[in-house]
Amino acid sequence: MRIAIITGGSKGLGLSLCLQLRERGYRVIEFSRSAPHEFSVMVDLSSPEESRRAILSAIGGIESEPLEEIIVINNAGMLEPIGPTSRKDHPALIANMNTNFTSAILFVTEVVGQFQSIPCRKVIANISSGAALNGYAGWTLYCAAKAGLENFVRALAVEQKQETHPFIPVNINPGVIDTEMQALIRATSAADFPDVGHFVRRKEQGELAAPFAVAAAILRIVESPTLEFGARYNVADYSRG
């Protein structure tokens, strides 16, 4: 059996990943707050401990089944609240940090712990962003989480190289995708996000990639037999036509 475990697969890029993985014959387990699919598990990632328990409960016991491959994709993320953190409510800041960083690490940690000893091909793909490498006014929390997760993955890769049955952790930059997150960005005021005009022009000029096409490129990366531990991959290098 081949399994794929993914967060944030209710819509957009995550949904496209889930559908394409199922078409490839993977058993998909998707974690999200809305949990809209038959293969979904309801998880509120803004509550890390509750998320950890729900994830562990959902994947428990699978390790006893014959497994040929395990694909783990950390895709869930949120931008809100957009704007300087000093102007935002503390609960909203904490919910963002928990969703984008703390719960993401706990998700990966629980999966690794559950399947570390399984002798099959295992990949962890962290869906990152250009925000991991660049600072954007109004996106301080998002930039911080993306940068932190990329380095978490790089450090995890060093650890995994020492394991008898390692996971291969990688970071993947998907580029700019035509999703609800992009719509949220374009609807944000310049006071909270000074670069909003640039993103509006990207939409008007047709520069946003379709989620289905990006998902296909991500899976080409994940399924590559030459994946490098801790490497950062750009979807633009794996897109077709």
Give catalytic residue positions.
142
The answer to whether 108 touches 122, Cβ cutoff 8 Å, is: no
Q: Are the C-beta atoms of residues 213 and 205 closer than 8 Å to each other?
A: no
3-state secondary structure the chain: CEEEEEECCCCHHHHHHHHHHHHCCCEEEEEECCCCCCCEEECCCCCHHHHHHHHHHHHCCHHHCCCCEEEEEECCCCCCCCCCHHHCCHHHHHHHHHHHHHHHHHHHHHHHHHHCCCCCEEEEEEECCHHHCCCCCCCHHHHHHHHHHHHHHHHHHHHHCCCCCCCEEEEEECCCECCHHHHHHHCCCCCCCCCHHHHHHHHHCCCCECHHHHHHHHHHHHCCCCCCCCCEEEHHHCCCC
Closest CA to 211 of 175, 167, 187, 237: 175
Rounded to a whole number of angstroms, the CA Rg of the chain reads 17
